[in-house]
Amino acid sequence: MTNPILELHDICYSYHSLEGETDALSHISFQVKKGEFLAIVGPSGCGKSTLLSIISGLLLPESGEICFPVPQGEESDKHPMAGGCPRIGYMLQHDHLFEWRTIYRNVILGLEINRQLTEGKKQRVMELLKDYGLDKFKDKKPGELSGGMKQRAALIRTLALDPEILLLDEPFSALDYQTRLSVSSDICGIIRSAKKTAILVTHDLSEAISLADRILVLSKRPATIKCDIPIRLTISGHSPLASRNAPEYQGYFNQLWKEISDEDHIQTAKIIQPDAE
């Protein structure tokens, strides 16, 4: 891993509505290196999705700056985000596939909208469908596929645009637990083999530890960075299922649990598990 591909400096953001002001992000600063897999965890409603929307350029920060440093050897040091540069792929909790389009036509939708549907890109999409086991389903409608297959199709639609940074906002939370384990493992493998930089928002601590190189823990709203934990597991490869058996896994889990638990959570845990000693 080399230079940062993304830098956030002192980002603040509040929502303004007729009911008043909601402070969502407070003085957030961090960097992401090229090829890094970063997970972001934090309490519900703390500002995680807001942070991804700011990185994607859908929302503009009220103060602070986002930079995408240009590779070494090029002229200027940094350029503030402008015009959606670099290419960012954004994958949401729900697959948002259109039922009236086949899987193939769903997967090429982004390319169509961006007027990039060249013969080369069509070929690339077919390769991705084949690599990820969906080529036989390309003429099916989303309703004919399992939840995991639909999520894979949504990822291929995002990858078809060849993003440099992938933003994943709780992409597995609509799946049942077993499917979630295998799909997250699957999708993590795809992202790693494509050598993409990825930022994953999740509320599942095990998922964060088993998938990420590094975890940012956010505080309650307005979100600040509580801690930044590099994950080093002594286990070969990056299989998320195998990672859960790494000797360091439980230590990281306890550390994260301690960071995100406030007094109320601890109280609740004690009430739920009265015999847990």
In residues, how long is the chain?
Answer: 277
Rg of the Cα atoms in the chain? 20
Shortest distance (Å) from residue 187 CB to Mg ion: 18
Residue number, 43 or 240, with CB nearest to ligand ADP: 43
Shortest distance (Å) from residue 150 CB to ligand ADP: 22
Cβ atoms < 10 Å from Cβ of 49:
18
Residue number, 24 or 155, with CB nearest to ligand ADP: 24
Answer yes or no whether residue 50 interacts with Mg ion by CB under 5 A. Answer: no
Residues in 4-63 that interact with ligand ADP by CB under 6 A: 15, 17, 22, 24, 42, 44-50
**What is the residue-wise DSSP string for 62-108?**
SEEEEE-PPPTTSSSS--B--TT-S-EEEE-SS----TTS-HHHHHT
Residue ranges of the alpha helices (H) in the chain?
Answer: 48-56, 103-107, 109-113, 119-131, 147-159, 177-193, 205-211, 240-243, 249-260, 263-272
Question: What does the alpha-carbon distance between residue 152 and residue 137 come to, in Å, rounded to a whole number?
Answer: 12
The item of Mg ion, ligand ADP, none sharing an interface with residue 46, based on CB under 5 to 8 Å by kind, is ligand ADP
Shortest distance (Å) from residue 198 CB to Mg ion: 17
Shortest distance (Å) from residue 223 CB to ligand ADP: 7
How many residues bind to ligand ADP according to rule CB under 6 A? Answer: 13
* 226-234 LR contacts (CB < 8 Å, sep 24+): 226/42, 226/259, 226/260, 227/259, 228/30, 229/255, 229/256, 233/209
Answer yes or no whether residue 233 interacts with ligand ADP by CB under 6 A. Answer: no
Q: What would the two tokens of residue 268 be?
A: 């609740």
* b/e sequence 175-193, b meaning 16+ C-beta within 10 Å: beeebbbebbbbbbebbbe
What is the enclosing helix (H) or strand (E) of 13?
Answer: strand 4-17
Residue number, 93 or 179, with CB nearest to Mg ion: 93
Question: What does the alpha-carbon distance between residue 203 and residue 187 come to, in Å, rounded to a whole number?
Answer: 17
Shortest distance (Å) from residue 71 CB to ligand ADP: 31
How many residues bind to Mg ion according to rule CB under 5 A? Answer: 1
Answer yes or no whether residue 49 interacts with Mg ion by CB under 5 A. Answer: yes
Residue number, 49 or 106, with CB nearest to ligand ADP: 49
Residue number, 111 or 201, with CB nearest to Mg ion: 201
Residue number, 49 or 185, with CB nearest to Mg ion: 49
In this chain, which stretch among 45-53, 155-163, 183-191, 203-211 interacts with Mg ion, using CB under 5 A? Answer: 45-53
Residue number, 47 or 142, with CB nearest to Mg ion: 47
What residues make contact with ligand ADP under the rule CB under 6 A? 15, 17, 22, 24, 42, 44-50, 221
What residues make contact with Mg ion under the rule CB under 5 A? 49
